[in-house]
Chains A and B, each alone.
Chain A
Amino acid sequence: MIRCASVSKFFGQLVAVSDVSFDIGPGVTALLGPNGAGKSTLLRLITGQATPSKGSVEILGLDPRGDRTVAQMLGVAPQQEMLFDSQTPLEFVGLAATLQGLDDSETAARAALDKVELDADDPRPIATYSKGMRQRVKLAQVIVHDPQILVLDEPLTGLDPRQRLSMISLLKSLGAEGRCVVVSSHVLEEVERIGSRVLVIAKGRLAAEGDFHEIRALMNDRPHGVELRSDRPRELAMHLIGAGVVDSVTIVGGLLTVETNDLSSFSRAVAPIAVAAAASLDEMKPLDEDLESVFRFLVGS
């Protein structure tokens, strides 16, 4: 339903998206990547808000920027929080329904607000709404015309845990109905719950793609750094190398830094090996476990 072919986007010297190609079909697809990775730019290219510097984007075979009929099939929730603040949610979503060409825009707006668990009769303007409520108003204007393709930039930001679960289940049900739902996120755990298919974007490039389990395995199957503190670091290092559970070892003072490709085997083996080496194991600390380093690894691979 969505096709990106060798898409790049430059802003002067800055390369925001670099030679990205993928196809997205029905169901939920998550775009995972750290902040500043180029996810929002990629979504803007998909929706036609921006023009690719190179390559092409197609939505159901049409050019999203040149062909206005794409707008009839598309629902978009951008990342920014601002909405038309002096309007009530019913007016805001009603305007979306009218501009999409729905005959009974008020009924459609009420149904959409109901789906995101907001009170359509709330007379307060959107200006008084919390971040989580604004996210739901944004989603309501996305679904009001029942689009085939939904593009949502960080839709879970600002939601409390209960709202998050309800939003995830709504997105999943939209995907299960055969719609193409594209959701961006920089939080790994969110993506684990949302997306069956994941596109990992880092530094403007497509770093990996597959279902979540494949991506998780790819993230685990990489060199892991572990820092160990011991009273006899040299003896401990020799035993670790002898047991074949580490790939490299560096000793600085009493601090031993090892690198291993199999973190779970290493974790099981390290205590018995320390006993065998008659070395104390005062501290053990994994390095590079944050999401950024995972992305760095994927980009480098």
Chain B
Amino acid sequence: MNEASTISPPSSVVAIVAMTSMFVREMVTRGRFAALGGLAALLVLLGFAARFGDDRLQTGGDVLAGLGLGVVVPITTLVLASATLGRLRGDQTLVYIWLRPVPRYTMVAAATAATLVLALPLCVGSMVLAGLLTGESALIGASAVAAVVTVAGYTGVFVPLGAAVKRSFIIGLVYVLVWGGLLAKLGTGFASLSVESFGVSVIEKLADVELSGGNLGLAASVLSALGFLVMGVAVATWQLRRREVD
């Protein structure tokens, strides 16, 4: 027997990098990316169609906010985030990282990083391309910032959801459709807890266009999304600490 007990645990950075790489490998499946790619392509197509509308800025803004931030970004982030801690919990493989001598927050940081690594290029890429094709230059930068804000906010919701509950995908979908799609349109009270509203507000303020559900200020939206992300890491870490693992 060697001196196993004297081996020091890895540094947090090493642990996070190793687990992020594992999560990314597990997430990247052909089926998953075909579906997400199809969704992104639909957004780009409708962005292109918007340039033929009477008011390009308004129509383009509506497409980017309604389909982009209301459907493509949340679904993409949900699908990817669910493939991290939630999937590992579901198929009982969480134990293979949970029983290692690494802090719980490193597992959450890795799940968050892996979600961002894949969701950001997909979501920002399709939003910017769609913005570009509307022919309205104001929408390009606005949709890029809005996509980053929305991906960050949704990652902060969906990663801890996977760590906390079994049917995280369904519950995440309900949050997107009911909270973001319906309640947030009713007023700032609901909107302040709707990630979609953060992104819509960003487009509204940066591109100077009036959109449904964009009731918040620019700084408030960006800070709220970042707050969701940080809170998400904290909540998921707490979940992993207290939860029993199969």
User: CB within 8 Å of B: which residues of A?
Assistant: 44, 47-51, 68-69, 71-74, 76, 78, 80, 82-87, 91-92, 95-96, 98-102, 141, 145-148, 177-179
Contacts and interface: CB of A to CB of B under 8 A. Distances in A.
B246 A101 contact: no
A95 B18 contact: yes
Given A51-B244, A78-B92, A146 B26 contact: no
A99 B10 contact: yes
What range describes how many residues of B lie at the interface? 20 to 34
The 7 closest A-B pairs by CB, nearest first: A99-B100, A71-B101, A146-B4, A82-B91, A80-B92, A49-B245, A50-B244
Contact of A96 (B7, B96, B103): B96
Contacts of A74: 99
Given A50-B244, A87-B22, A101-B7, A179 B100 contact: no
B99 A47 contact: yes
B117 interface: no
A100 B7 CA distance: 8
A148 B100 contact: no
B182 to A, nearest CB: 36
Interface of B: 1-2, 4-5, 7-10, 14-15, 18-19, 22, 25-26, 28-29, 91-93, 95-103, 244-246
Contact of A101 (B1, B8, B96): B8
A102 to B, nearest CB: 6
Contacts of A68: 9, 101, 103
B83 to A, nearest CB: 11
A179 B1 contact: yes
A79 to B, nearest CB: 9
Nearest to B2: A146
Contacts of B25: 84, 86-87, 91
B98 A49 contact: yes
12 contacts: A68-B9, A69-B5, A71-B101, A72-B101, A76-B99, A78-B95, A91-B25, A98-B10, A99-B19, A100-B10, A100-B100, A148-B1
Contact of B4 (A73, A76, A87, A91): A73
Given A84-B96, A178-B1, A72 B18 contact: no
Given A101-B8, A101-B10, 18 more contacts: A44-B245, A49-B244, A68-B101, A69-B5, A71-B101, A72-B9, A78-B95, A82-B92, A82-B93, A83-B93, A87-B26, A91-B22, A95-B18, A99-B18, A100-B10, A101-B7, A102-B7, A148-B1
A148 B6 CA distance: 11
A218 to B, nearest CB: 33
